[in-house]
C-alpha cells in the first residue's frame, strides 16, 4: 500500500495542506479542535486499504494550512468554500464526507449549502442544531453559563492564547485530547478553562506520548489563534446563516458519538439526537453510540473505521 502523501493546494484564497492516500471514490476527513489531519491517521490507511482515495486536510487555521488572522475569515461560508475549492482541485464532483467536532459542523454546513457535492455524511460528536431565530450563539452561552464556559472564554482575542502559553504545548494537548469530563466545560469564577482542566499522569492505551508530541510540535509552529477563531466567528455565523433558518440536511447521514462524550452528556444532546426534532432536521440519519469519550475516532479507531466503511458501502449499494 502506498504511503500517506502530503501536498499544499490553493483553494478559496488560501494554501491548504492535505494528507492523502489510496485510489478510488473520494473520502474527505475533517478534523476538529484542537487537532490536525493527524487525528485521522488510523482511518486514512484503513479506508485507503479498502479502495478509497482518502484526503484529510489541515483545516483553515491549523497545521500547515494558512491561518488568516481575523475571526471574520473563519465563517462557515469560508470553511465550506475551502472544501468546494478542494473538490474542484481534485476534479471530483462529489465526496463522502466525515467530520469530527468542528469538522462535523463544517460537514453539516457543506451538506446544507452544497448537497450536490456530498454523497454521504458521517459526523462524530457534534450534531446538527437548528439556528435559533432570536439569540446569537456566544450570547446564549454567556447568558446560560457565564464567563467560565469555555466558548465564552475563547471569544476575546488573545485571552485563551495567553492562558495556554502558561503551559508547554504537550501539556495543552494532554489537557484537551485526554479529556474525560462528562459535564459541560466551564471553570470556576476567576479561573481560565485551561487551568481548570486536569493533566493526566497516565496515558490511556489509545494514544502514545509520541503521538501527542506530533500535535504539540505542530501547534508550536502554527499557534492557537486560527483554531480559536472558529469560536470567535460563531456570532457572525449566526448572522450569515439566517437565510437557511429551518433548512433540513437531506443527504444520507450517520451520526456517531461516544457515550461518555461531554457533548453527549451535556445540554440533553443524547436525548436530542435520539428524538424527533433531530430526525426532522436530518430525516435520513442513523445514530450510533460507542463506548468512549470525545476524541472517538482515535480512542475507538477500529470501531469508528468500521462504522464509516459500512455506511459508505451501504450508500454506494443504495445509489
DSSP lists the bridge partners of residue 30 as 99
The residue behind cell 494558512 is 66
The secondary structure of 153-219, three-state, reads HCCCCCHHHHHHCCCCHHHHHHHHHCCCCCCCCECCCCCCHHHHCCCCCCCCCCCCHHHHHHHHHHH
Query: Crossing angle of helices 76-90/102-113, nearest 10°?
Result: 70
Q: How far apart are CA 293 and CA 278, in angstroms?
A: 21
Catalytic residue among 53, 169, 231, 293: 231
Q: How far apart are CA 118 and CA 121, in angstroms?
A: 7
* Three-state secondary-structure class, residue 284: coil
Tell me whether the omega of the peptide bond preceding residue 22 falls within 30 degrees of 0, making it cis. Answer: no
To the query of whether residue 294 is one of the catalytic residues in this protein, the response is: yes
To the query of whether residue 74 is one of the catalytic residues in this protein, the response is: no
To the query of whether residue 183 is one of the catalytic residues in this protein, the response is: no
- Alpha carbon of residue 140 to chain centroid: 21
DSSP states of 213-279: HHHHHHHHHH-SHHHHHHHHTHHHHHHHTGGGTT----S-EEEEEETT-HHHHSTTHHHHHTSHHHH
Catalytic residue among 31, 101, 128, 261: 101
Instruction: Read off φ and ψ for residue 117, nearest 5 degrees.
Output: -105, 0
Nearest in space to 120 (alpha carbons), one of 213, 306, 233, 249: 249
The helix/strand count (H/E) of the chain reads as 16, 8
Q: How far apart are CA 138 and CA 155, in angstroms?
A: 8
Q: How far apart are CA 140 and CA 66, in angstroms?
A: 30
Query: Which residues are tagged catalytic?
Result: 101, 231, 294
Amino acid at each position: 500500500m502506498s504511503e500517506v502523501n502530503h501536498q499544499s493546494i490553493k483553494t478559496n484564497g488560501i494554501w491548504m495542506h492535505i494528507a492523502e492516500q489510496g485510489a478510488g471514490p473520494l473520502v474527505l476527513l475533517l478534523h476538529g479542535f484542537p487537532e490536525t489531519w493527524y487525528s485521522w491517521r488510523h482511518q486514512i490507511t484503513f479506508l485507503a486499504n479498502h479502495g478509497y482515495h482518502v484526503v484529510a486536510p489541515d483545516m483553515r487555521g491549523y497545521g500547515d494550512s494558512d491561518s488568516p488572522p481575523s475571526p471574520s475569515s473563519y465563517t462557515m461560508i469560508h470553511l465550506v468554500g475551502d472544501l468546494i475549492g478542494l473538490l474542484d482541485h481534485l476534479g471530483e464532483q462529489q465526496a463522502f464526507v466525515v467530520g469530527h467536532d468542528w469538522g462535523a459542523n463544517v460537514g453539516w454546513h457543506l451538506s446544507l449549502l452544497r448537497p450536490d457535492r456530498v454523497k454521504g455524511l458521517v459526523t462524530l460528536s457534534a450534531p446538527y442544531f437548528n439556528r435559533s431565530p432570536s439569540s446569537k450563539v456566544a450570547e446564549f452561552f454567556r447568558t446560560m453559563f457565564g464567563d467560565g464556559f469555555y466558548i465564552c472564554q475563547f471569544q476575546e482575542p488573545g485571552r485563551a492564547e495567553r492562558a495556554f502559553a502558561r503551559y508547554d504545548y504537550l501539556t495543552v494537548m494532554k489537557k484537551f485530547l485526554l479529556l474525560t469530563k462528562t459535564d459541560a466545560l466551564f471553570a470556576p469564577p476567576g479561573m481560565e478553562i485551561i487551568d481548570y482542566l486536569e493533566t493526566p499522569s497516565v496515558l490511556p492505551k489509545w494514544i502514545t506520548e509520541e503521538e501527542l508530541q506530533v500535535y504539540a510540535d505542530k501547534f508550536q509552529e502554527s499557534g492557537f489563534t486560527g483554531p480559536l477563531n472558529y469560536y470567535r466567528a460563531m456570532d457572525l455565523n449566526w448572522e450569515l446563516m439566517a437565510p437557511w433558518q429551518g433548512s433540513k440536511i437531506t443527504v444520507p447521514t450517520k451520526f456517531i458519538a461516544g457515550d461518555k462524550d461531554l457533548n453527549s452528556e451535556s445540554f440533553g444532546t443524547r436525548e436530542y439526537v435520539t428524538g424527533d426534532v433531530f430526525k426532522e432536521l436530518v430525516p435520513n440519519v442513523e445514530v450510533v453510540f460507542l463506548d468512549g469519550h470525545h476524541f472517538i475516532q482515535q480512542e475507538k479507531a477500529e470501531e469508528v473505521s468500521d462504522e464509516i466503511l459500512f455506511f459508505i458501502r451501504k450508500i454506494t449499494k443504495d445509489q
